[in-house]
Chains A and B, each alone.
Chain A
Amino acid sequence: MQRIRGMMRDRAAEMLRSGSVSKVLGWEKGEFAYDETPAIFTSADELCSDNELGGLVYDGFSSAMLSKYLINATKKDKEGKAPKALVFLKPCDSYSFAHLLKERKVERENVYAVGVECRGMLDIEKIRLKGAKSIKSVEESGDSVNVSSFTKDYTFPRGEVLLEKCVTCKGLDFKYCDEVIGGGNEINWNRLDRFAGVEMIEEMTPEERFNFWRGELSRCIRCNACRNACPVCSCNKCVFDNTDSGVQSKANADSFEENMFHIIRAFHVAGRCTDCGECSRVCPRNIPLQLLNRKFIKDIDALYGEYQAGEDIEQKSPLTDYQFGDAEPSVIYKRGGGV
């Protein structure tokens, strides 16, 4: 990872110095071993500094996706000129980038996209749940993760402390990148089928499904992190924020609103969701939101043919397309369980 970071710094610094780009979207070191923040660098010095705070970093905690920042980062200035930005994209981020291109939220010529090798990102919550307290440092070495705290040192198998979205990674291909740093598109960790979670729920009885989702969704505090982190949820004003939309709501004043918000959130990105898993990652209440999005993906794949948002930006997304012989909604009744 150090080597990759070095290459990233070199490349980005070169691009900034030459004036090919005016800003670089990357990650910056935080207070701890694990709290990197997305940052925009505008000078090579800033990018390469190794201060306590500052300087481009890239490691197992560079999980925040940068794609969505491109919308603002490449907005036209008052003279109508759009700045050009270099962005570092992990494989899953590159699909989201592609989708933003497709929806014209970002124009291709304003971006220099650099794919960066990904080995799966680490989940500090999982590390904590495994008992590590007062964490001082987290080092990756091969297939293990060494954590040292103020009182004790721990070693965990890497596969056990990966973010859930990485455990069910959809693949390491890069889309629409100008270049790729590092490489290797083979997943070398124990990956789980991304639809296994959905299937597990589908196999429950309706009663169980209902109770499962009530339990999950009732934890929602409507912080909107899922929505705001989502690269596809990029409306200027969400229907839930718009007092004139008729469905505005700021809090879940009733269980209905918990359902409503999450059904509509998932529905509005159905056929557009790149399955990046940011929604699940950012949820402060650990609600497995990706399971809602993946339900739509799974149904779309099964009913209308496999579709991966961000794969091909010329392809019509499933909800803006149709076939004469599409399945009828009654196909739902034929599925197991309940009436």
Chain B
Amino acid sequence: MFVCWCGSNIAATVDVEAVTEAVRTEPGVVVATNSQYMCSEGWQSSIRNAVAEHKLTGIVVCACSPRMHEPTFRKAAAAAGMNPYMVEIANIREQCSWIHKDKPEATEKAIILARAAVAKLNLDKPLTAGESPVTKRALVIGGGIAGIQTALDIADAGYEVDIVEKSPTIGGKMAMLDKTFPTLDCSACILTPKMVDAAAAEKISLYTYSEVESVKGFVGNFTVEIRKHARSVNSELCTGCGVCMEKCPSKKTKSEFNQGLSNRSAIYIPFAQAIPNVPVIDREACIKFQTGKCGVCEKVCTAKAVDYEQQDEIVTKQYGAIVAATGFNPIKLDNFDEFAYSQSPDVITSLEFERLCNAAGPTKGHVVRPSDHEEPKTIVFVQCVGSRSTVDCGKTYCSKICCMYTAKHAMLLREKYPGTEVYVFYIDVRTPGKSFDEFYRRAVEEYNVHYVKGMVGKVAPEDGHLRVQASDLIADKQIIIDADLVVLAPAIEPDPSARALGTMLTASMDTNDFFTEAHPKLRPVESPTAGIFLSGVCQGPKDIPDTVAQAGAAASKVIGLLSKDKLIGNPCVAECNEPLCNGCSACELVCPYGAITYEEKPVFDHGVRETRRVASVNEALCQGCGACTVTCPSGAMDLKGFTNLQIMAEVDAICR
């Protein structure tokens, strides 16, 4: 028992001598002493001497908050050859001397706090932190800008990294965009070099047209099965000449890349800059696969790359860290009848609009009405379609990017087609970002885009026009616009693959299926599950700069992890007393880290031997919160360092 004066910080209101005397007779206390500054080097060496002289197995220090000097005293204990976790601290400064003025009162409280610490120490057990090796390879799931950036940064630090992308090419949503706000850079111009870098990087392996099949293990030691879907084209042999696509007789499939605004062949690459530049056969659309007759592509392929017999392949690999970068999709608008999206081809989504604007798009960059290929004169943009919505088919959150891209679209239109009238209907215009508000004001002021605060009530197709009924909340009146084209800004939602992935990774998700971060403020790019990191929109809506920033942040966290040879755990983790466990799964359900699994195990308890289902804690994953300990009715789950008996002993000592 060591009592600190902390100069006069403690000694001024707590009678340090009295505390020392009072605790001297507590059970287990062998030596009790006090000093000016316990944390000073000199006193730490006296602690060492006391440990040696009295063969101490535990130490109580009455001093400042354990948040301040717990590591200091643990180190001192370890240096003295003691287990560092056999140290308890009674906080008699922050929680006693500093807040109480009356000396006898403060002294009495300090004695009680010291007794509680002794009571806890008497039940302390030496703890050893577990160690586990780290596999120095990372997996990035998703090959959009988030995944690419994360992979590039990790590879740049010298670690192996694999990208798994479910579509035939990397690039993601950004590849579909025409220009980017607020600088109006060409999206492809800034993305393609990164795609090429990713393909060229020695440390990066791409698994396109592939999905994660299963994830096992824990931080530093994940085992992942990756399903490589059959491309029906041998990537090693294919030269990317494109003849097969030209000759393919099945050309009536809607192009996913062009948002269904153009068609593609059954054997295809999604877009010209696709990486890898290797086609895949869409077996649903392929005549050979559907009827057995055709085989044109095989015949025309001089490289003999077409392989109809190719099967899905499962690749099993080890990783130390996993990054989720699964991205987003605009929500389906089938349930928004009021905007006539399903009824009229001239009601389009903003992503479709991007494709219309794009020089490589279906209209070579001419903005025309899909119905009659006429140039529209009056264009209406509707924001918050399904965002900030309370209806069932909508999302409660703000999708964050729509205000800015709508301003971009409106501006581009007015620049390219000065004769057009452009209306934007909005609930609020949100522009918190560098140069964002300036950008929006340019749209209004320089480009004379009509911004109308209010929601569109109905879009009705009417002899070649779209009758848009809306309310102008500022002018407080109903307005009707006969538009030629209506562009909707749908809410964005996490990619549907995220939910299943979340389960595999035991990474928690919110009700909208966005991945939850370990701490909303302080650990925004980590999942609560150790070793799982988050990059891009899978964590929440964000624009390209935010995505890239987060991608880099996730990469740096991964690098930090992979740079370690082994991980040293927190020994204050949950522990299952197997004979008591009744296998009810409650602990598993409340564990935010997926640290608890169940095993059939032989258990022996007081003469009864049986094999049954019991919980098992993965110490590498457990962070020691204790949620499981309270949810466990039998008390089988306990938390080392904060055991049930220890906390109750503290309660007893305090209430004595």
| Chain A contacts to B: CB under 8 angstroms | 75-76, 80, 103-105, 233-239, 242, 244-247, 268-269, 316-317, 319-321
Contacts and interface: CB of A to CB of B under 8 A. Distances in A.
A269 B579 CA distance: 20
A75 B645 CA distance: 32
A283 B476 CA distance: 69
Given A104-B613, A237-B580, A237-B605, A316 B589 contact: yes
Interface in B565-604: 579-586, 589-590, 598
- Of A75, A103, A246, the most chain B CB neighbours within 10 A belong to A246
Contacts of B583: 103-105
A245 B644 contact: yes
Contacts of B585: 103-104
B584 A105 contact: yes
Nearest to A241: B634
14 contacts: A103-B586, A104-B583, A104-B585, A104-B598, A105-B583, A233-B633, A242-B580, A242-B635, A244-B645, A246-B648, A269-B633, A320-B589, A320-B590, A321-B589
A234 B589 contact: no
A235 B582 contact: yes
B611 A238 contact: no
B363 interface: no
B582 A236 contact: yes
Contacts of A242: 580, 634-635
A239 B610 contact: no
Contacts of B633: 233, 235, 239, 268-269
Interface in B609-656: 610-613, 631, 633-635, 644-645, 648
Nearest to A103: B584
Contacts of A104: 583-585, 598, 613
Given A76-B610, A233-B633, A245-B644, 10 more contacts: A103-B586, A104-B584, A104-B613, A235-B580, A236-B582, A237-B605, A244-B645, A246-B644, A246-B645, A320-B631
Contacts of B582: 103, 105, 234-236
B475 to A, nearest CB: 36
A244 B581 CA distance: 14
Contacts of B605: 236-237
A236 B579 CA distance: 8
Contact of A237 (B584, B610, B611, B634): B634
Contacts of A321: 589
A239 B582 CA distance: 12
B635 A239 contact: yes
- Which of B582, B590, B605, B613 counts the most chain A CB atoms within 10 A? B582
A317 to B, nearest CB: 8
Contacts, number: 61
A233 B634 CA distance: 9
A236 B631 contact: no
Contacts of A236: 579-582, 605, 634
B644 A320 contact: no
A96 to B, nearest CB: 14
B540 to A, nearest CB: 15
A308 B631 CA distance: 19
Given A80-B611, A245-B644, A246-B644, A319 B579 contact: no
Contacts of A103: 582-586
A237 B582 CA distance: 9
A208 B378 CA distance: 74
A275 B103 CA distance: 55
A237 B589 contact: no
B89 to A, nearest CB: 23
Nearest to B627: A320
Contacts of B613: 104
B610 A75 contact: yes
Contacts of B644: 245-246
Nearest to A71: B582
Contacts of B648: 246-247
Contacts of B598: 104
A233 B586 CA distance: 13
A314 B581 CA distance: 21
Contacts of B635: 239, 242, 245
A261 to B, nearest CB: 13
Contacts of B612: 76
Given A80-B611, A234-B582, A239 B634 contact: yes
A212 B633 CA distance: 27
A320 B592 CA distance: 11
A73 to B, nearest CB: 14
A316 B598 CA distance: 18
Interface in B236-256: none
Contacts of A269: 633
A320 B611 contact: no
A247 B612 CA distance: 26
Contacts of B586: 103, 317, 319-320
Nearest to B123: A246
Interface string B518-556: 000000000000000000000000000000000000000
Q: Looking at A76, A245, A269, A321, which has the most chain B CB atoms within 10 Å of its CB?
A: A245
A319 B631 contact: yes
Nearest to A320: B589
Contacts of A234: 582, 584
Nearest to A319: B631
A329 to B, nearest CB: 15
Contacts of A268: 633
A5 B633 CA distance: 38
A214 to B, nearest CB: 22
Contacts of B634: 235-239, 242
A244 B582 CA distance: 17
Nearest to A76: B611
Nearest to B648: A246
Nearest to A236: B582
A268 B584 CA distance: 12
A270 to B, nearest CB: 10
A115 to B, nearest CB: 24
6 A-B pairs with the lowest CB-CB distances in the bound complex, closest first: A235-B634, A320-B589, A268-B633, A103-B584, A239-B635, A246-B645
Nearest to B581: A236
Nearest to A102: B585
Contacts of A239: 633-635
A242 B636 CA distance: 10
A186 to B, nearest CB: 33
